[in-house]
Chains A and B, each alone.
Chain A
Amino acid sequence: AQSVAQPEDQVNVAEGNPLTVKCTYSVSGNPYLFWYVQYPNRGLQFLLKYITGDNLVKGSYGFEAEFNKSQTSFHLKKPSALVSDSALYFCAVYSSYKLIFGSGTRLLVRP
């Protein structure tokens, strides 16, 4: 069965520092991977996706993600964090016309 795991419930970083939110996947075949962000009292917003091609995917709000097939990982990254990046982040894998979401990682960026 397809699945993703987000090993960290929360990530804390200082504003201006680089951030990484981790995601590992387990799929049969080629993975289609997604990152979403959820702000308080809002729905999930699409950040970026990996379907094929370049292993470094660029997305919205300066975020990028690196697909690593050998480590079965798809970590979300940003070179310089902003306080406004504080939110809940979900990794997801596509499976049979639906998305399987991870448990989410809360990112807290302190001023």
Chain B
Amino acid sequence: DAGVIQSPRHEVTEMGQEVTLRCKPISGHDYLFWYRQTMMRGLELLIYFNNNVPIDDSGMPEDRFSAKMPNASFSTLKIQPSEPRDSAVYFCASSFSGLLMMGNQPQHFGDGTRLSIL
């Protein structure tokens, strides 16, 4: 399997622009997670989906952030308008709940999108 695929790997844009990050989870996985990593705040969970439905978005910092999962093989994280403090590495991860329908299976991470807002 190709693993979790994120695009783009790097994004540099100016403040105020719309940014869209993309994620393709591992085929067959039913959970998808979006994280943000910064030096100051470490690794933060932004939102996660189960079977394409958003379950918990309490980590989304502001209304400028939105995430969608239109189907089992694709998710987007959008920032509009972007601000310099949004600069971070954004990770997508997916996991399979398993035969016991429990979520404690390992999450598989993509290599992230390094976002720089000027």
Contacts and interface: CB of A to CB of B under 8 A. Distances in A.
Interface of A: 32, 34, 36, 41-46, 49, 51, 90, 94, 96-99, 101, 103-104
Interface residues on chain B, size class: 20 to 34
A104 B37 CA distance: 11
A51 B104 contact: yes
A41 B89 CA distance: 9
Interface in B41-68: 42-43, 45, 48, 50, 55-56
A101 B91 contact: no
A32 B105 CA distance: 10
A46 B107 contact: yes
B65 to A, nearest CB: 17
Interface of B: 4, 31, 33, 42-43, 45, 48, 50, 55-56, 91, 93, 97, 103-104, 106-112, 114
Overall SS of chain A's interface: strand
B42 A99 contact: no
A98 B112 contact: no
A99 B107 CA distance: 9
B31 to A, nearest CB: 7
Given A43-B93, A103-B42, A104-B42, A94 B109 contact: no
Given A43-B4, A51-B104, A98-B45, 20 more contacts: A32-B104, A36-B109, A41-B111, A41-B112, A42-B111, A43-B109, A43-B111, A43-B112, A44-B43, A44-B91, A46-B107, A49-B104, A90-B43, A94-B104, A97-B48, A97-B55, A97-B97, A98-B103, A101-B42, A103-B42
